[in-house]
Amino acid sequence: MEKLDNLYQWVQNEGVYLFDRQLPFSCEDSKAVTIRLNGNDTWGIFLDTGRMENSAEEKSTVLHESGHYATGTTHEVCSPFDLVAKHEYKANKWAVQRALSAEELDEVVADGHTEIWDLAEYFGITEDLMRKAVCWYTHGNLATELFF
């Protein structure tokens, strides 16, 4: 299970710049964005923690944005929908795999944590990311709309 402090340390060790600031250029529900700065060499993750309700949302957001960095999946605002969807999928998949392993999920379920809210609380992530994790480790995809 990934801890938020360890995730922040990993991002810093990777040389990614972290900014915690209001995102005035985004829509109201945007909480973060990952941007490739100065060409391909420098990356920045902009977090608006003021829009995040709790540490689970912060952790899930940092996992997702780190997934954009780790997989190199950023895109221009005006990119085609299919490209954006592919990039979001890759970032979400990376986030799930970084948040917890299949073995960890199996152990926790065997211990009696079987509800999504309970699993999410145990792993310290959002229910949305937990649904994605269950789908990934159960069905091999992130299509939560098919299973929940």
Digit-coded pLDDT (tens) for 28-56: 677 898 888 776 688 999 999 988 999 99
First to last CA, the chain: 23
Q: What does R_g of the chain's alpha carbons equal in angstroms?
A: 15
Band of residue 80 on the pLDDT scale cut at 50, 70, 90: confident
| Choice between 62 and 78, residue whose per-residue pLDDT is larger | 62
pLDDT in tens, 90-114: 999 999 999 999 999 999 999 999 9
Percent of the chain whose predicted confidence (pLDDT) is above 90: 70
CA 146 to chain centre: 20
Indicate whether 6 pLDDT > 90: yes
Indicate whether 24 pLDDT > 80: no
pLDDT given at position 36:
85
Using CA atoms, how far residue 64 sits from 76, 79, 107, 110, in Å, is 17, 19, 24, 27
Dist CA 44 CA 143 (whole Å): 28
pLDDT given at position 143:
94
Percent of the chain whose predicted confidence (pLDDT) is above 70: 93
